[in-house]
Copies of this chain bind each other. A is one copy, B any other.
Amino acid sequence: MRSEYNRFIGCNAEFEEAEYVLFGAPFDGTTSYRPGTRFGPSVMRRESFGIETYSPYQYCDLEDCAVFDAGDLELPFGNTERVLEMIEHMTSKIITRDKKPVMLGGEHLVTLGAVRALVKKYPDLRIIHLDAHADLRDEYLGEKLSHATVMRRCSELVGMKNIYQFGIRSGTADEFLFGRIQNPIFGLENVDEEIENILFVAQDYPVYITLDLDVLDPSIFPGTGTPEHNGFTVSEVLAYTMAFSDLNIVGFDLVELSPPYDPSGISAAAANLILREMLIYYSQFNRSQQIAENSSLDDIDDLEIDTEFII
């Protein structure tokens, strides 16, 4: 008789049998303007009962994938360094047991905690970064650790050339300069082509995907602290993340959902739909099923067609 609202819909695996371990990092301690992402994970879980576990896009049910929902970390607000340590510790526990972490933010800085753990296990880690903002400042309001500096800090761990950025449409002149010198920042043009490039250059490496949900257009995803227009549609994000299923994904995160700015709940609905699809894209159950069906859905050459299919 106890409600299951405390776990994400369809994530019913036990820890031992799980391929993916979902956990929340409800931290927004460096958010400088509009806080609220701390409520992201709990609202995603609660609203997840508004979607189905079955994906009509992939003919596959999330319940058939092995995902354990570990709940939320209890993070001490006001001590940023310790928050990162706790996230790193949690991530380490998951990857030590050969499982893959799926982290729900929280603000974008939480990604640094996960990357610190991952890079110890995977020194040649690549990061795919979808975001409206470059997040490449060296410091912000005098601080090295900030949502606005997180990818700069990550670049110090994995190298800027190993971070692939998409959807960036906001930053200072310096950030764009830094990003372009080290590595092309992939903006909003030629995305399909760039994804093919990435599928090629990253194919032999472990890959972490960090999805700042504000990469979506604000009309679709209003519930975030710093909305930036001209973003991706849901079907574009689905097509891109589906394409990445050919890579060796060792974990991923979805960050920056801020429920207080989402009174209608459509932002949580978008986040949940994308999370369900990503979990299915990257799950062994689905991939083995697809191979059996000789499915061509994730064929690189068909990316254009796939996009349309999803739309």
Instruction: Flag whether A184 is at the interface (Cβ < 8 A).
Output: no
- Taking a contact as CB atoms under 8 Å apart, the answer to whether B142 and A76 are in contact is yes
Stretch from A156-164, A200-208, A212-220, A279-287 forming part of the interface with B: A212-220
Q: Note all chain B residues with C-beta closer than 8 A to A3.
A: 6, 42, 71-72, 74
Q: Note all chain B residues with C-beta closer than 8 A to A170.
A: 51-52, 56
A2 to chain B minimum Cβ distance, whole angstroms, is: 4
A41 to chain B minimum Cβ distance, whole angstroms, is: 9
- Taking a contact as CB atoms under 8 Å apart, the answer to whether A219 and B266 are in contact is yes
Identical subunits present: 6
Task: Contacts A6-B6, A35-B38 given; indicate if A145 touches B265 (C-beta within 8 A).
Answer: no
Stretch from A119-127, A255-263, A292-300 forming part of the interface with B: A255-263
Mostly helix, strand, loop or mixed at chain A's interface? loop
Instruction: Flag whether A88 is at the interface (Cβ < 8 A).
Output: no
Instruction: Flag whether A29 is at the interface (Cβ < 8 A).
Output: yes
- Residues of A at the B interface (CB closer than 8 Å) are 1-3, 5-6, 23, 28-36, 38, 42, 46, 49-54, 56, 61, 70-80, 82, 90, 109, 140-143, 145-146, 168-173, 176, 187-189, 217-220, 222-223, 225-230, 234-235, 260-266, 269-270, 273, 308-311
